[in-house]
Amino acid sequence: MGTALFKEKMNQACEILKEFHVDCWVTFVRETQVNGDPVLPFLVDANLTWHSALIISSTGRTIAIVGEYDKKSVEDIGAYDEVIGYVQGIKSHFTDTMRSLNPTSIAINYSEGSEICDGLSYGMYLTLHSYLAELGYEHRLLSAEKIISALRQRKTNGEISNIREAIRATEQIFRTASDFIGPGRTEKEIADFMKKEVEAAHLQLAWEARICPGVFTGPDTAEAHYMPTDRKVAPGHILNMDFGVKVNGYCADLQRTFYIRKKGEEKAPADVATGFETLIHAIESSRQALKPGVYGHEIDRVAREIVIAAGYDEFPHGLGHQVGRFAHDGTALLGPPWEKYANKPFEPVEKGMVFTLEPRLIIPERGIATVEEIVVVTNQGADYLSTPQKELFLI
């Protein structure tokens, strides 16, 4: 993330603190290469070694307190008003800074309900609590979940531009791969071909290489989140791929579905065509319902009911997650009110959120059909960032 984007997000953070009437936000970390905090990519672009405090005040003041050897890297970001380097320990520098700010509320990097806001280990919490207790500030602590969620979810123009670039690159590799796919090719061969295309384009995969891309051909596959296998593409089967690349630190996450024609077939058979059309109907209907102020579970229900009404089992996951620095990002979720999603489906949708829409269904003896698009929430609705797959890709 370049200097301009760091400053853009820092300024946004200050405004978010004012909005939620929080005086100060502290991100407290150490050895981030081992114990990284999910919010760090918005605050620094290098790993921090010793105890470090990244402080943003609602007054607009930004301060980083880091080990001496990390100081220059943080200064180079150009987004902090003051970077304090220490040698022996952080405690005195941190308490002096907090005393000078004297915030009545201090948001810190933990959350019960959102993993992207929960980077503070218990040991680090105890250390931070003891420092603030000496000032009599320990009762001023609260979760930074609302601040971090808003910062990640409200995409700036610069962030959306990076996501668009990642999507375009992902779509291009999908197009190239479609010429490579054919009967007899294995899932591993297709995945390796796509990875070589990523490498040739000097890009990064959007998630771990073991399962990016995900390639699933025919019936009885793992369906999702599993490595490509030696299973071969065969006529009469569906091929689904889950794939994305990262550009300037921002991800794309798309799925495309192909049908492998049998000899003499000019188009997909009725069962495959009907399943695919059901997916497209579910995606477009949920996109049209998506707008600021609605709740994620309401949008999930739109797509889920379409799939069920068409005679298919309901898909075993939420309709869509947010996309940003990670392929799965943000707190608000377009999902059902299930235990595993906690309060995420009940978070209101806001302008600037970027979501996937990804219903799925099983076509017996054919395989898994899934299409995953990416949309951005606007003032009045939601627009596609991806080029929507409207027709089944035929091989």
Q: Where are the domains of the chain?
A: 3-152, 154-394
- CATH 3.30.830.10 holds for 3-152: no
d(CA 25, CA 13): 9
What per-residue confidence (pLDDT) applies to 251? 97
Amino acid at 37: D
CA distances to 65, 250, 261, 316, 371 from 298, rounded to whole Å, are 43, 27, 37, 16, 20
Sheet of strand 254-259: strand arrangement: 214-217, 238-243, 254-259, 393-394
Residue 226 C-alpha from the chain's centroid = 19
Distance of CA 52 to the CA centre of its chain: 25
Tokens 């979940």 correspond to 145
CATH T-level topology, domain 154-394: Creatine Amidinohydrolase (3.90.230)
> How are beta strands 106-108 and 141-143 bridged, if at all?
parallel
The per-residue pLDDT for 1 is 63
DSSP for 324-385, written as a single string: SSSSSEEEEEE--S-GGGTTGGGSBP-TT-EEEE--EEEETTTEEEE-BEEEEE-SSSEEES
pLDDT attached to residue 113: 87
Helix (H, G, I), strand (E, B) or coil at 220: coil
**What CA–CA distances, in Å, run from 255 to 62, 78, 239, 242, 375?**
40, 38, 10, 4, 14
Specify which residues 245 forms β-bridges with.
205
Token look-up 């800074």 returns: 97
3-state class (DSSP) for residue 59: coil
Q: Which 3 state secondary structure label does DSSP give 199?
A: helix
pLDDT at 4: 83
Which helix (H) or strand (E) segment holds residue 302: the answer is helix 296-309
Closest CA to 152 of 142, 140, 141, 163: 163
HSE toward the beta carbon, residue 188, CA cutoff 13 A: 3
DSSP, collapsed to helix, strand or coil, labels residue 186 as strand
Return the pLDDT at 172: 98
Q: Are the CB atoms for 363 and 251 separated by under 8 Å?
A: no
- Average pLDDT for runs of 10 along the chain of length 395: 82 96 97 93 93 96 96 93 96 97 97 92 96 97 96 94 98 97 96 97 96 94 88 96 96 97 94 97 98 98 98 96 94 96 95 97 95 97 98 95
Burial 215-225 (b: 16+ CB within 10 A, else e): bbbbeebebbe
